[in-house]
Amino acid sequence: MNQGRLEIWFEGHEDRTQTFLIEINRKQIILHKVIRMSWLRVENFGNLEQHLKTQKLKTFLELSGKVYPDLVKVFYVNLKFSNGVLKSSVKGVEMEITRQTWKDVGGLRQRGVQVRKGETSVVDEFNMVQYFNQCVRNQGEQARNFHVGRLRVEERLLAMVVTKIIMPRGSNHATLNEGDLVVIYCIQNGVMVDWTYTNRDHMMKAKRLTDFKLPYGN
């Protein structure tokens, strides 16, 4: 890596430079996937289309744009969360991602339940095993694992939307965890979700955990 470029990116901050070289630069970026509401309609998934629109996810799910991998990594090196706002800087340009930013860019909801893996109690009626068993193709078959291949077609497609776009991860999209399933449950059952909270939490987790790839690169 060119030392002069690092100086420009991190303005001489040696600690950030080392974080980039030792931690963040090794991470892969998850390229943002897109799903068109018009495609869902044509393929007779109108019910799923309506669920996603009700959650105000249409704009976010259809976002596309260029990705600059090095600058995405610089952004994550400098990323911090303070007073309810994500803050970072790239090449000396300070930026804040507020709730209003999420709404203006991605059309995301700012109100609703705040869900993530390990925080599902806010959805009182959700039970991971019971819900999964309701969604399997072969009713009466009890869950031994939470593999998407056992789901009905619409739930399987929604699982892919959740694990590849809303809360993307780099691998193992086939096995659903508690966080995935509670989000799927909320979408299907009209439980409104605070998506700014969900995405913000996902970004900070991706920076903090070594085995996480970097989401929302576009």
Q: What is the pLDDT of residues 129-139, one digit of tens each?
A: 999 999 998 87
Residue 69 lies in a domain: yes
Average pLDDT, the chain: 89
Residue 9 lies in a domain: yes
Element (H, E) at 96: strand 93-97
CA pair distance 51, 205, nearest whole angstrom: 27
| Residue 42: both structure tokens together | 């044509």
CA pair distance 139, 137, nearest whole angstrom: 6
Closest CA to 65 of 8, 106, 9: 106
- Structural domain tally of the chain? 1
Over range 110-121, report the average pLDDT.
Answer: 83
Residue 86 lies in a domain: yes
Q: What percent of the chain has pLDDT over 90?
A: 58
* Residue 94 structural domain: 1-30+65-108+194-218
Residue 176 lies in a domain: no
Residue 78 lies in a domain: yes
Residue 187 lies in a domain: no
Residue 21 lies in a domain: yes
